[in-house]
Amino acid sequence: MTPNQRGFYTLLKKEVMRFWAVLGQTVTAPVITALLYLLVFAQAMKGRAEIYPGVSYTEFLVPGLVMMTVIQNAFANTSSSLIQSKVMGNLVFLQMAPLGPWEWFFAYILAALVRTLIVASAMLVVVLPFVHLPIHQPLALIAIFVLTSGSLAVLGLIAGIVAQKFDHIAAFTNFLITPMSFLSGVFYSVHALPPFWYKASHFNPFFYMIDGFRFGFFGVSDVSIWHSLMWTAGFFAVMTAICLWMLITGYKMKK
């Protein structure tokens, strides 16, 4: 292993150890929250018409909830890690180390991917005995999962770079991530929306992430899987370009 590779691997390991040290907060809590949503909505909407032929509301809900949890946790992992290091002052250990922008980028993103993989797997393991979930398109499922987790992890990194205090991260979460994830078709098909909100949903990248993920399970979705893949990949590319520019120039990180 070269020194650069070891530096990258260490940062990745440290980021995984960081969320692992508070597993109750980083994995158990979001899984329980998502399961409560499932319990409440599945009961409340019991008996409603199938959204897709042969797919019950509970089955329809599970992929959306998994993806919403992935979105929120990928963002939280990178943003909270970076802002904590900034506020505590220990970011200097990383800033003074011989690590380049690429090592920072991939280590933070991969650690978020590991966390979201654990969270999503835990959710699926818990619901699978009760909810039938076929896997229609595994490649689409994996691609959408990786691109979504990656995109939100990068957005979290951007938020962490821009933010100077915890309040700034809370603003990102409360005014951007939460509303966009709730209004992305987690709990409903966008075809059920009034025309304005139906159109507006198509400008929300989270909608394509959730719809594409659902396609991976059922083989049916509100929009074409290619459309979802293009939107999700495009969002990832734009976020990555912005984030790398920030890391390379030292934006908000170097005085």
Partner 1 sequence: MTAALTISGVRKTYGKLEALKGVEFQIQRGEFFGLLGPNGAGKSTLINIIAGLVQASAGNISVLGHDTVSDFRTARRLLGIVPQELVFDPFFNVTDMLRIQAGYYGCGEEVWPWIDEMLQRLDLWEKRKVSMRALSGGMKRRVLIAQALVHKPPVVILDEPTAGVDVELRRTLWTFMRDLHSKGTTVVLTTHYLEEAQEMCERIAIIDKGEIKALETTQQLLARHPFRFLRLKLAEGAVLPVELQPLVAANINGSLELKLETSKNSFSSVFALLRRDGVAIEDVQTRDPDLEDIFVELTGRKGEVAA
Which parts of this chain interact with partner 1 (CB under 8 A)?
A: 1-4, 6-7, 9-11, 13-14, 17-18, 21-22, 85, 88-90, 92-100, 250, 254-255
Residue 249 Cβ, how far from partner 1 at the closest point, in Å? 9
Query: Nearest approach, Cβ of 4 to partner 1 (angstroms)?
Result: 7
Task: Name the one residue in this structure whose structure tokens are 């603003």.
Answer: 171
Residue 220 beta carbon to partner 1: minimum distance, rounded to whole angstroms: 43
Q: How far is the CB of 12 from partner 1 (least distance, A)?
A: 10
Q: Which helix (H) or strand (E) holds 8?
A: helix 3-20
- CB nearer to partner 1: give 89 or 129: 89
Q: How far is the CB of 100 from partner 1 (least distance, A)?
A: 7
Beta carbons of 211 and 222 less than 8 angstroms apart: yes
Q: By C-beta, is 138 or 250 nearer to partner 1?
A: 250
Rounded-to-integer distance, Cα 160 and Cα 253, Å: 10
Single-letter amino acid code for the residue at 173: T
Q: Are 40 and 146 in contact (CB under 8 A)?
A: no
Instruction: Kindly write down the DSSP assignment for every residue of 60-109, as one continuous string.
Output: HHHHHHHHHHHHHHHHHHHHHHHHHHHHHSTHHHHHTSS--HHHHHHHHH
Nearer to partner 1 by Cβ, of 80 and 204: the residue is 80
Query: Based on CB atoms, which residue is closest to partner 1, 92 or 176?
Result: 92
Of 90 and 224, nearer to partner 1 (C-beta) is: 90
Min separation Cβ 104 and partner 1, Å: 11
Residue 25 or 224: the one with the smaller Cβ distance to partner 1 is 25
Cβ pair 30, 125 in contact under 8 A: no
Handedness of CA 91, 94, 97, 98 (dihedral sign): negative
What is the chain's alpha carbon radius of gyration, rounded to the nearest angstrom?
19
